[in-house]
Amino acid sequence: MVPDWTGVYSRPADKGFTFDPDTPAGVATTAKLTPEYQARLDKRIADVKRGIEWDPISTCAPPGHPRWLTEPFLREFVPTPNQTWLINEMVNDIRRVYTDGRDHIPAEDRYPLYNGDSIGFWDGGKLVVHTNQLQGGIYQRQNPDYTDQVETVEIWQRADASTMTADVWVYDPPSLAEPWYVKQAYVRLDPKQDLRIRYWNCAENQNNAVHQTQDGTTQFNGFSFDPKAGKK
């Protein structure tokens, strides 16, 4: 038997975009970073203060995991005996957790993936997940970087009738001086709203056609303030 995780959930808006929702006010991150990656974070924060920021998902790429955990859009969780789907509405992003006893993909066949390779097992009503084979990225805007050596362990469970939680341990020796523990929570939305997760095509919004400029800022592709630009 697998637990009933039906419903549509979302990460609470008041948690902002900080990867660790329990980060104290005025603190950049609770992660213990290596000197190189602390310097990267310091530069990112300084650049933002000067109006310079580049978000890798600006080109409509998937956020990737572990950033997947922080995106504030609608979610569904679909457990079955052999496979559980963790669904994020954003760019139709689905993490598949295999619980049929298989191992990870052999090392010689691995290559970096946005959401990596996830296997797990059920411990009563708890889903324990290990994920590897991930791409490097950022935990969220104005948060630290992670490398393609990052791995996570998660324990998912329904804390009560309206809350799903995930205890998360992040391991990434190049960027983290020690493993990083955070606790994520997702709130079930009012079932009377009859919410549906829709197909997400980021490219349908012309404002998402952007590129990174030489100074690190974002600019729309083909954008010009000249009303005559593009006219013959």
Q: What's residue 51's pLDDT?
A: 86
- Give the residue with greater pLDDT, 230 vs 133: 133
**DSSP assignment string, 137-172:** EESSTTS-EE-TT-EEEEEEEEEETTEEEEEEEEE-
Of 127, 196, 194, which is closest to residue 167 (Cα–Cα)? 127
pTM for the structure as a whole: 0.87
Between 35-39, 70-74, 212-216, the lowest mean confidence (pLDDT) is in 212-216
Of 14, 3, 144, 25, which is closest to residue 81 (Cα–Cα)? 3
Handedness of CA 97, 99, 100, 102 (dihedral sign): positive
Q: What's residue 165's pLDDT?
A: 98
Q: What is the CA radius of gyration of the chain?
A: 19
Whether 218 has a pLDDT exceeding 90, the answer reads: no
Residues 108-161: tens digit of each pLDDT:
999 999 999 999 999 999 999 999 999 999 999 999 999 999 999 999 999 999
